[in-house]
Structure 1
Amino acid sequence: MAEVRSRVRGFLRNRWLVFVAAMWMQSVAGVGYLFGSLSPAIKSSLGYNQRQVASLGVAKDLGDSVGFLAGTLCAVLPLWAALLIGAAQNLVGYGWVWLAVTHRVPVPPLWAMCMLIFVGNNGETYFNTAALVSCVQNFPKNRGPIVGILKGFAGLSGAILTQVYAIMHTPDDAALIFMVAVGPTMVVIALMFIVRPVNGHRQVRPSDGTSFTFVYSVCLVLAAYLMGVMLLEDLVGLSHSLTILCTIILMVLLLVPIVIPVMLSFFSNDDESAYTALLTSPRREEASGSVSSEEQEVILSEVDEQKPKEIDLLPASERQKRIAELQAKLFQAAAVGAVRVKRRKGPRRGEDFTLLQAMIKADFWLLFFSLLLGSGSGLTVIDNLGQMSQSLGFEDSHIFVSMISIWNFLGRISGGFFSEIIVKDYAYPRAIALATAQVFMAIGHFIFAMGWPGTMYIGTLLIGLGYGAHWAIVPAAASELFGVKNFGALYNFLTVANPAGSLVFSGIIASGIYDYEARKQANHNHSTLLGMVSDVAPALKCEGSICFFISSMIMSGFCIIAAALSLILVHRTKIVYTNLYGKPRT
């Protein structure tokens, strides 16, 4: 009995249980992706026009991205308390919207509805921050896969929630708003005491590689399954009984990863303490006993200042050898008092930064603007996919929306996977994977601009994969360069780049050019409408590849600039990744 209790306690403290619970929480966290399905019910019930609905959409984007408060609270409060605040915001915000739409309460003015949407969607930032902070701290040596998988499930949550809603089989469109208000709240409250740091860095096991492979396999099966179900529903149509069966299979696939912590806790005899020694820093073990740990950290900073610049141009093996020799000389000199070690103000890259400390570093802003240009252009395509497909002659854009959601998910998974290989096997900066994704996006935008046959299929593939990869690579790179202690605040500041880029690219460039081309076509084809009153004139509609030619070419150029910024970051941070992931000398 004592052994059973011990194993149960070990199960509850297992970092893989935390990771699986975070995956489940992220599976319902992306409520913002459902706004396109919520807005018709709000528009028809409250009598809003398209401009008013667009205002609600802006409030939704702001709520999804302004996470400064969530990042701060996750740093000062227990994570369960921060998650409870997020769940309360989700319930109050979307719950009040549901009450207004169903006329159970007086309809608030538009500004109040915007505030309710903002508050409800802002709860998502607490879910994202708590999941990422806890799992990055529990898996400090596997940040790429962890961030990629968690952000992937957040991106897939819209498709998951839509599939769950399909089994309700109700003609009441407002029922989806009720599900969004109650469903995620219930899931988060059920999991909020599980998602937390559990000293996961002391739970390294030889089977971790196999466990990640299993999770990746589940992710690929889940993506393929959802793609198949979406295609069947769009092209063939499924009966209610088959829809229920498909949803049950979906739930089973989501539950499968729980076998990892169960197997490790109840069917494994490995003692986690046996692997703690693997985590000891080789540099500190090799350091002279007469040099304090504080001096060791300062000396490592001295290396960056005193090493000749030509060392960075040497091959990796020779560069590591020369740096190690310089470190040894500084350690020896400091031990005998032959040199006075200078004290640097503030942390060095790879240590824990506060947000203000990070904001005075060039590397932080290179990462921010690279994300702004890359993800902002990708979000512009996602937001305008309906108009883009219609301009190229497709009457129904739903299939492309579903496809780009799946590619977005796979981009997040593969971005974390391949960037982890780069840093682990080659000790090379993770930003090189970001630059590669941005080159793919530049090609995708160019294909959209050309309007060739198959453009929508190839373009959504490249843009979806590239956009998704940003959200696996950037948070992991930020935690490596600026530490995990204040990761919540750093991550939520970086996410502001997403709506900022979309505001410029979609709200100003793409929409302005589209309306200009639509007016040109309207003046050419319907000259008799020039004298009509604008209230009765038909909505402007643009046809042909010209509608998004200029804006797509502009965004392709911005992606090239983003890739250049990422390459500059690669050059500046090579030494950081050598210190973090470089193989110790034998």
Structure 2
Amino acid sequence: MVVSMQKKNKMKEFIGHRWVVFVCAIWDMSFAGTSYMFGSISPVIKSSMGYNQQQVAFLSVAKDLGDNVGLLAGKISEVSPTWRVILVGVIQNVFGYGLVWLVVTHRLPSLPLWMLCFFIFLGQNGSTYYNTAALVSCVQSFPESRGPVVGILKGFVGLSGAIWTQIVAMISFPDQASLIFVIAVGPAMVSCALMFIIRPVESYNKQSSRSSEDGSGFMFIYSVCLLLAAYLMGVLMLENMFNLDHNTITLIAIVLIILILLPIIVPIFMVFFTQPQNLDQESLLQPETRTSTSTRVVDGETSASSCLVKEDKAQKQTGLPVTERPGKIVKFQAKLSRVISEAVKKLKQKNGPHRGDDFTLSQALMKADFLIMFFSIVLGCGSGLTMINNMGQICQSLGDNNVNVYISVISISNFLGRVGGGFFSEVIVRNFAYSRLLALAVVQGMMAVGLSYYAMGLVGQVYVVAISTGFGYGAHWSIAIAAASEIFGLKNFGTLYNFLTVASPTGSLFLSGFVASKIYDYYAEQQAKQRVQSLKASLNFTLPYVARNEESLVCEGNICFSLTCIIFAVVCLFAAALSLILVHRTKRFYAQLHVKSLS
């Protein structure tokens, strides 16, 4: 009977353990990043609906907006439990992409382009609810380890595209349209299975956050992350080199699923194979408490006469009996406490919250720290995302047909950037008491170096720019989000996080639409003019140049993106300068945060 009760208590402790919440959030994020699969479903949408490339581009914009505009998810997370946030995401995901699947497979009549854009936006927007629920729950459950938590979660989001690709290859669907159905129901099924486990959980012992078990747990998950990245890279190389049969693909997918499940070992070990230490710590404190209490009792007995003398003096001064005096003192202290608390409250309302307090979105928008952080992300992420989106044209301009290899390199680098950015920024905060945003400035400087390398046209330039932009773009989301939770508080973290995610498409829209595409089209048009002039000279008669459509303009050579890379390198350096300004402004805050973590 006692053994069964102990097992029941252990299972209850296991279900409510914050590491179980974190591991379940990792699993949810591993299947939630469906935006990375749009490149796989866009060809079937284009062929089935008879769209041209410009119309497909509109669908891509709708997908990007849906994946990044999550303010409503943040607002709902502030007033509703986590399972309701996930449920809203599930409904949007299934309804949006489900209708797209029905239209593409002609089970429903064709819809106008704007309606299909809306449904793709609606379906992809469901992922913002999954992200918000997982990040808010885990950051509140691990307030002392925000960098590793955010980095690991965002890293698995970046890997979800590669994970789904292997699972779909194992299942071997009859057509590409079935992939849309998988995007509609796959993440929703995983989220429904975990929706009541993913929630904020307070640690049973505040000092356990600094225990060796937590550090060992994070190191184990980091090891799994590196192993998973190496495994996927090896799988991609094998698939590019050999034509694998279905049995081999199935084995690869099964091993991949096992690697994803490995982090559950951490909470299992902590709950079932580790003795709790909080009771021992309390027993060590009890003798000290008893000693101090007995000392106070002895002191009270030996000094009774002096207390009576003081009370007699007080009675002579105030004219009150001794029995009435304690009640008057309590009332006076309570009134004084109320006055002080009201004064402090009015002062806070007048001056607004300070760094480390809980900010609302409107309060954060009035602070220079938040605006500097936002524009730093706009410039840094905008440059990285624009280069990632144009990787196909970069390879085309250089006559390189290995675009799938470079996309895979970007995916793995993105994953390592998210995980590594969270880890190294945590080292900077914990070990050196520097601002976390120093890591962001370093990453943005690395991106500038990689872009400059491409502009110089050196050997391996595409690999260098793919690794630097992929790593840098991923690191932004682990470093900046963790810093935002520290500087602007956890109460409204969901709303603040979803506002910051808007920075990425904002920067990409500006830098891609007004910089990269304009420069590419200019050089493509100049090359077209040169071809016409050379043809005219060879034929010896006048041939007027007629400007062709933008879709038919093709640029060739390193010149197509070299100037763009130079501009983006300057943009990244400017973003790094903004980050360093924020480092200077938050230097004292992070020093105080480091002192508090040691106390």
Q: TM-score, normalised by structure 1?
A: 0.86
1:403 aligns with 2:409: yes
Partner of 1:200: helix, strand, or coil? coil
Paired position in structure 2 for 1:539: 552
Confirm whether residue 579 of structure 1 aligns to residue 592 of structure 2. yes
| Residue of structure 1 in register with 2:21 after alignment | 18
Would you say the 8 A contact 1:137–1:201 is kept in 2? Answer: no
SS in 1 for 2:235: helix
* Equivalent position amino acid for 1:425 in 2: N
Question: Following the alignment from structure 1 to structure 2, what is the Cα–Cα distance between the partners of residues 584 and 147?
Answer: 19
Would the alpha carbon gap of residues 409 and 530 (structure 1) be closer, same or farther in structure 2, given more than 3 Å must change? farther
**Superposition deviation, residue 585 in structure 1:** 8.7
- 1:452 is aligned to 458
Partner of 2:105: 102
Does the aligned pair in 2 maintain the 1:392–1:451 contact within 8 Å? no
Alignment-derived partner of residue 565 in structure 1: 578
- 1:161 and 2:164 equivalent? yes
Matched, 1:491 2:504: no
Identify the residue that residue 488 of structure 2 maps to in structure 1. 482
Taking only the aligned residue pairs, the percentage that are identical comes to 54
2:186 match: 183
In structure 2, relative to structure 1, the CA distance for the partners of 1:14 and 1:538 (3 Å cut) is: closer
1:343 aligns with 2:356: no
- Preserved contact between residue 213 and residue 270 of structure 2 (Cα < 8 Å): no
Which digits, 9 at most, give the CA deviation of each residue in 1:395-444, with x for residues without a partner? 23010000010001001111000000000111110010000000000011
Change (3 A) 1:183 1:276: farther
Given candidates 88, 92, 107, the residue that maps to 1:89 is 92
Letter in 2 for 1:371: I
Pair 402,117 (structure 1): closer, same or farther in 2 beyond 3 Å: same
Q: Does 1:371 align with 2:377?
A: yes
Residue 147 of structure 1: how far off its partner (Å) = 0.3
User: 1:237 Cα deviation (Å)?
Assistant: 2.6
Distance in 2, matches of 1:565 and 1:504, equals 19
Mean CA deviation greater in 202-211 or 569-578: 202-211
The 2-side partners of 1:351 and 1:522 are apart by: 58
- Which amino acid is the alignment partner of residue 84 of structure 1? L
Tell me the residue number matched to 1:357: 363
The alpha-carbon distance between structure 1 residues 275 and 256, as it changes in their structure 2 partners (threshold 3 A), is farther
Structure 2 CA distance for aligned equivalents of residues 236 and 194 of structure 1:
41
Q: Displacement, 1:272?
A: 5.1
- CA positional deviation for 1:525: 1.6
Paired residues of 2:532 and 2:545 also in contact (CA < 8 A): no
- Displacement of 1:239: 1.3
C-alpha separation in 2, matches of 1:15 and 1:249: 26
Q: Distance in 1 between matches of 2:385 and 2:260?
A: 27
Quick check: 1:95–1:181 contact (8 Å CA) kept in 2?
yes
Q: List aligned pairs for 1:123-202, cutoff 5 A.
A: 123-200=126-203, 202=205
1:247 lines up with 2:253 in the alignment: yes
CA distance in 1, matches of 2:42, 2:547: 28
The corresponding residue for 2:510 is: 504
For 1:267 and 1:16, the matched residues in 2 are separated by 14
Q: For residues 417 and 163 of structure 2, what CA distance do their matches in structure 1 show?
A: 17
How large is the RMSD of aligned CA atoms in angstroms?
2.2
Q: d(CA) in 2 for partners of 1:7 and 1:73?
A: 33
> Which residue pairs with 1:289 in the alignment?
none
Cα distance in 1 for partners of 2:480, 2:192 equals 29
Q: 2: CA distance between counterparts of 1:566 and 1:171?
A: 49
CA distance in 2, matches of 1:483, 1:276: 30
Q: 1:343 to 1:106 in 2, by over 3 A?
A: same
State yes or no: 1:223 paired with 2:226.
Answer: no
How far, CA to CA, are the matches of 1:544 and 1:276 in structure 2?
Answer: 70
**Residue 428 of structure 1 aligns to a residue in which SS?**
coil
Unpaired runs of 5+ residues, structure 2, are: 284-336, 536-542
Q: Which residue of 1 aligns with 2:526?
A: 520
Contact kept, 8 Å, 1:140 with 1:201, in 2: the verdict is no
- 8 Å contact from structure 2 (residues 525, 547) kept in 1: no
Indicate conservation of the 8 Å contact 2:529/2:545, yes or no.
no
Contact in 2 for aligned 1:27/1:154 (Cα 8 Å)? yes
**Structure 1 pair 253–538 and aligned structure 2 pair: CA distance change class (3 A):** closer
Q: Which moved more, 1:504-513 or 1:562-571?
A: 504-513
Structure 1, 362-371 or 384-393: larger mean CA deviation: 384-393
Residue 207 of structure 1 is matched in structure 2 by: 213
When the two structures are aligned, how many residues end up with a matched partner? 526
Q: Which residue of 1 aligns with 2:288?
A: none
> Structure 1 residues 3 and 370 mapped into 2: Cα distance closer, same or farther (>3 Å)?
same
d(CA) in 1 for partners of 2:282, 2:168:
45
Opposite residue 560 of structure 2, the aligned amino acid is: C
Partner residue in 2 for 1:258: 264
Q: How does 1:231-380 map to 2 (within 5 A)?
A: 231-271=237-277, 343-345=347-349, 346-380=352-386
Does structure 2 retain, via aligned residues, the 8 Å contact 1:29–1:154? yes
Q: Which amino acid aligns with 1:343?
A: L
1:166: Cα distance to partner? 1.0
Distance 1:530 1:569 in 2: 55
Output the TM-score relative to the length of structure 2.
0.85
Shift in Å, 1:347: 1.6
Are 2:563 and 1:550 equivalent residues in the alignment?
yes
| Corresponding residue number in structure 2 for 1:315 | none
- Seen in structure 2, the aligned counterparts of structure 1 residues 541 and 134 have a Cα distance that, compared at 3 Å, is same
- The one-character-per-residue Cα deviations of 1:471-520 (angstroms, maximum 9, x if unpaired) are 11000000000001100000000111000000011122101111111111
Q: Report the residue type matching 1:401 in the other structure.
A: I
Partner of 1:317: none
- Structure 1 residue identity aligned to 2:595: G
Give the 5 Å matches for 1:26-65: 26-65=29-68
Distance 2:125 2:281 in 1: 40
Contact 1:390 1:396 in 2 (8 A): no
CA distance in 1, matches of 2:354, 2:12: 38
Is the alpha carbon distance of 1:276 and 1:505 closer, same or farther for their aligned partners in structure 2, counting shifts above 3 Å? farther
CA distance in 2, matches of 1:99, 1:50: 22
Specify whether residues 429 and 267 from structure 1 end up closer, same or farther in structure 2 by C-alpha distance, changes over 3 A only.
Answer: same
1:520-563 Cα deviation digits (max 9, x unpaired): 1122124569667958x982211111001111111100100000
Query: Per the alignment, in what secondary structure is the counterpart of residue 344 of structure 1?
Result: helix
| Offset at residue 357 of structure 1 (A) | 0.9
Q: 1:583 to 1:200 in 2, by over 3 A?
A: closer
- The alpha-carbon distance between structure 1 residues 532 and 201, as it changes in their structure 2 partners (threshold 3 A), is farther
- The aligned amino acid for 1:575 is R
Structure 2: distance between partners of 1:13 and 1:410: 30
The secondary structure found in structure 2 opposite 1:499 is helix
In structure 2, what residue type is equivalent to 1:138? S
Distance 2:598 2:574 in 1: 38
By percentage of residues, which structure has more helix? 2
Distance 1:544 1:129 in 2: 43
Paired position in structure 2 for 1:388: 394
